[in-house]
Amino acid sequence: MTSAWPNLADLLRPAEADAPVGLVGAPLGTGSVTPGRCDLAPAALRKVLRRIGLYDLDRRSELSSAIADHGDVALDGLDIEGATGPLREAVRASVERHALTLLIGGNNAVTRPGVLGMAEGLGLGLSEVGLITLDAHFDMRGLEDGLSNGNPVRALRRDGLPGANIVQIGLAPFANSRAMHEDALDGGHLIVTLQDTLIDGSDETVAAALAHLAGCEAIFLDCDIDVIDRSQFPGAPGGRPGGMIDGEFFEFVRRFAAEPRVRAIDLTEWDPPLDPTDLSALVAGRWLAEVLAGFETRP
């Protein structure tokens, strides 16, 4: 039943529902470079949905896309390697059923099984899929010490994802190493720094990203919330001063969600206990509204 004040929670449906959007909770907290409680984020997102309305005043349109909530993948006691299989399978099953799958982390290590599951669900090889990251970091740390939230892009490259199929937007100064930058350039990544986004704007940046991935059949969008300025999202352990403003982040999310080839989007690196206020939760809830707003403009 619709509430007196229509809100995002009204769009949630049981897992078996016939819905255009699927939601998979990925409460992965192990293996973080900065330990925390990112595993609490899926529950925190569901809780805040009642505070986010459906009506877009600027565009005079109301969100209406039903979301089949598949619940949280059971990850208790699993390390990243052990969690990869269950997460991959959950995303695969959702992608097979829904036009868009939302993977709610958890830390950024969920991106790798998300990409692998999306490819499997669509019957595609990694050479046929693309990855766009909205992230302050390259996530290209080494693999010699195992998987972590600092190396999902490196791990996907090892799995066979071509570097030319990767676009990284929002990379921040003083948050990455020269070696990672050079590896990404040598691999063929399209690199758009935070400064580049300020110069080029969202229109040009989105157009360049999609053109770079023109040969890809499907695209995974990774939204690492630490790309946002720390003052506007205190609940991101990797967030830093001088990051992307939230309005620009929302614009990127909406525009990429409007692209039909984007079949899965994740939200990662939100550690709810870091923010005793409700600011981070409200930004995360608005993220979901922007995703749906973009999705509903698809042909």
Which homologous superfamily is 8-295 in? Ureohydrolase domain (3.40.800.10)
pLDDT digits over 152-181, tens only? Answer: 999 999 999 999 999 999 999 999 999 999
| pLDDT, position 189 | 98
pTM for this one?
0.97
| pLDDT, position 244 | 97
| pLDDT, position 72 | 98
Residues 34-55, mean pLDDT to the nearest whole number: 96
| pLDDT, position 3 | 60
Mean pLDDT of the chain: 96
Residues 230-236, mean pLDDT to the nearest whole number: 96
| pLDDT, position 187 | 96
pLDDT digits over 247-270, tens only? Answer: 999 999 999 999 999 999 999 999
pLDDT digits over 238-248, tens only? Answer: 999 999 999 99
Q: Where exactly are the structural domains of the chain?
A: 8-295
DSSP the chain: ---SS-BGGGGEE-TTS--SEEEEEE---TT-SS---GGGHHHHHHHHGGGSBSEETTTTEE----EEEEEE---TT--HHHHHHHHHHHHHHHHHH-SEEEEEESSGGGHHHHHHHHHHHHT--GGGEEEEEE-SS-----STT---TT-HHHHHHHHT--GGGEEEEEEPTTSS-HHHHHHHHHHT-EEEEHHHHHHHHHHHHHHHHHHHTTT-SEEEEEEEGGGB-TTT-TT-TT--TT-B-HHHHHHHHHHHHT-TTEEEEEEE---GGG-SSSHHHHHHHHHHHHHHHHHTT--
